[in-house]
Structure 1
Amino acid sequence: MKRLLICLAAALVCIHAKAQTKKRQLIYGMYLQWGYNAEAYTRSNIHFKLSNGDNFVLHHAKAHDKGDYDDIIKEPGQISIPQYNYRIGFYLNRDLTKGFELNFDHAKYVVTDGQKVHVTGTIGGQHVDGDSVLNPETFLHFEHTDGANWLHLNYFEQKTLAENKAKTRALLTLIYKAGAGINIPRTDFTYHGDRLNNDFHIAGYNIGVEGGLRFYMLKRFFFETTGKTGYVRYIDALANTTTAKGNRATHGIGYLEGIATLGYQFSW
């Protein structure tokens, strides 16, 4: 995923350079960001269709995130273990107030063990329509913790709220974004004690809006804090992979996300 974003960024820089040779400027600058996030999720109806013939729905299942922020203290070199974000942005005007960004959110989604959910469908050849407690040994466990992984393209604008004394650069801006993209999760699924750690694959789509503040500590360095909300749909979270052949999991979730990132920008 990181290589994909780097390749896309390089391609866009090349497009900019080519445009410059033709005396036509398309991109006026770019920025890079890295940071971390926290989520809250809506309840979800999760539909499982398994290769053994079981076909059932968990109704209104609740889930939580899994920050793992303490892993940075335990293993300082493992900065990508917690829920992280990175962005590559490109400015479309000389004032550096409008542009687009490639946005990757490595969020984590865990269906909460021990909860009682209503289950309908067919399990073991028998029709079911009742409540069951989620447990990985006796029933199931389901999570996207090697990433719910939302990759999308955002359009953004920012408005200056405060400038330096010389009024030569912004110190504080209001930034807002909207975009859509694809989900590339790795889903961890345990059913009656048997664990299946899925492969990464394109599994659905997402849409989202985001807004917050950007603080320019220096001319090129900034800190950004934003709130984000949107909808994510997993069409086939277990499909078309070597480790999950014949299985399928489908569900949709709404989310609220808090994000904090550090960034570096430059213009030309």
Structure 2
Amino acid sequence: MLKNVFILMMVMVVSRSASAQETTGDLYSSHNKGKFFISWGGNRESYSRSDVRFWGRGYDFTVHDMEAHDKPKGYHLDYLNPGRMTIPQTNFRMGYFIDDHYSISIGWDHMKYVMTQDQIANVSGFISLPDTEEGAVFNGIYNNTDTKMTEDFLQYEHTDGLNYVNTEFSRTDDVSSVLKISNTDKVQFNVTEGIGAGFLFPKTNTKLLGRERHDDFHISGFGISAKAGLNITFFKHFYVQGEIKGGYIDMHDIRTTTSNTDHASQHFFFLQRIIAVGGIFRV
């Protein structure tokens, strides 16, 4: 009985809302102020070459113009599995419209950065390890020396991941009228652009000079970014959004081994291609 009454009340509320909307012509999608939004998606990324400095007890050298790539998983159920959805390259964002056009949000860009193994790179600096260490075979003075990044010399990646935790300030504009769409409560097209900044919290997976592999989370630096995208909203509350997002990352304190004396630093530019699904609603 209560279930039937509840359904009847919901039908009456929806019918009255629709009737009022038709009378006033005030569509839900006409105004964004006060709305919250949340999204989840996946990404691919590209990186500029980077000079990476490694230093610690017995060594201080720089790998010049290191080449790196992302680690895509393709179409996979992990994107939807609550227990594994943070494993692929993903993007999470939630925010609030402070007026009809401008919003502020917080997000987590889970990217992956993998040094291209076995590349030939110029190395400058020195390695002077005790003869008892496995990495002593690489001892010497390096002066822009061509060096192959073998697994014994260096394995280096941020694969769980290159986590960019950031705040964004964005603008959204409805362009449905350009496409001659009148009822934007059914489908609405928006363009969006914004700027952001935040910190890097990577889990860096490194094996350096034959030492024990290290893989741990550590706040390593900061990033800034800018984006532009297209948003398609369906039935007022559900949307698909595609974005191009680029930025600059400076990580000056990267952990590379279990020893607190071993560090690395690098800075580079990145470009993300993002597809996300989400919801927008007013509380």
Unaligned runs of 5+ in 1: 1-26
Letter in 2 for 1:100: I
- Alignment partner, residue 66 of structure 2: 61
- For each residue in 1:165-221, what CA deviation from the matched residue of structure 2 results, as whole angstroms up to 9, or x when unmatched? 335576000000101110000101112333432321211000000001000122100
- Alignment partner, residue 149 of structure 2: 134
- 1:200-239 to structure 2, matched below 5 A, reads 200-238=217-255
- Alignment partner, residue 157 of structure 2: 143
- For each residue in 1:14-38, what CA deviation from the matched residue of structure 2 results, as whole angstroms up to 9, or x when unmatched? xxxxxxxxxxxxx712111100000
- 1:75-94 to structure 2, matched below 5 A, reads 76=81, 78-93=84-99
**Separation of aligned partners in 2, 1:179 and 1:151:** 10
**Separation of aligned partners in 2, 1:225 and 1:195:** 41
- Alignment partner, residue 191 of structure 1: 208
- TM-score for both structures, normalised by structure 2: 0.78
SS at match of 2:213: strand
From 239, 249, 261, the equivalent of 2:276 is: 261
> CA 1:113–1:203 in 2, change beyond 3 Å: closer, same or farther?
same
- For each residue in 1:46-96, what CA deviation from the matched residue of structure 2 results, as whole angstroms up to 9, or x when unmatched? 00012x321000000100000123553799552221100000111101x3x
Please say if 1:154 is aligned against 2:168: yes
RMSD: 2.1
SS at match of 2:77: helix
CA contact (8 A) 1:160 1:170 kept: no
**Separation of aligned partners in 2, 1:166 and 1:237:** 51
- For each residue in 1:108-133, what CA deviation from the matched residue of structure 2 results, as whole angstroms up to 9, or x when unmatched? 00010010000000112632121100
**Separation of aligned partners in 2, 1:64 and 1:31:** 31
**Separation of aligned partners in 2, 1:167 and 1:183:** 38
CA contact (8 A) 1:196 1:244 kept: no
**Separation of aligned partners in 2, 1:173 and 1:75:** 26
Please say if 1:28 is aligned against 2:4: no
SS at match of 1:85: strand
> CA 1:180–1:168 in 2, change beyond 3 Å: closer, same or farther?
same
CA contact (8 A) 1:188 1:195 kept: no
- TM-score for both structures, normalised by structure 1: 0.82
**Separation of aligned partners in 1, 2:69 and 2:183:** 47
**Separation of aligned partners in 1, 2:81 and 2:71:** 18
Unaligned runs of 5+ in 2: 1-32, 129-138
CA contact (8 A) 2:62 2:124 kept: yes
Please say if 1:173 is aligned against 2:190: yes
Number of residue pairs aligned between Structure 1 and Structure 2 = 236
Report which stretch shifted further, 124-133 or 165-174: 165-174
> CA 1:169–1:155 in 2, change beyond 3 Å: closer, same or farther?
farther
Greater per-residue helix proportion:
2
CA contact (8 A) 2:203 2:217 kept: yes
**Separation of aligned partners in 1, 2:151 and 2:80:** 29
> CA 1:76–1:153 in 2, change beyond 3 Å: closer, same or farther?
closer
**Separation of aligned partners in 2, 1:70 and 1:166:** 33
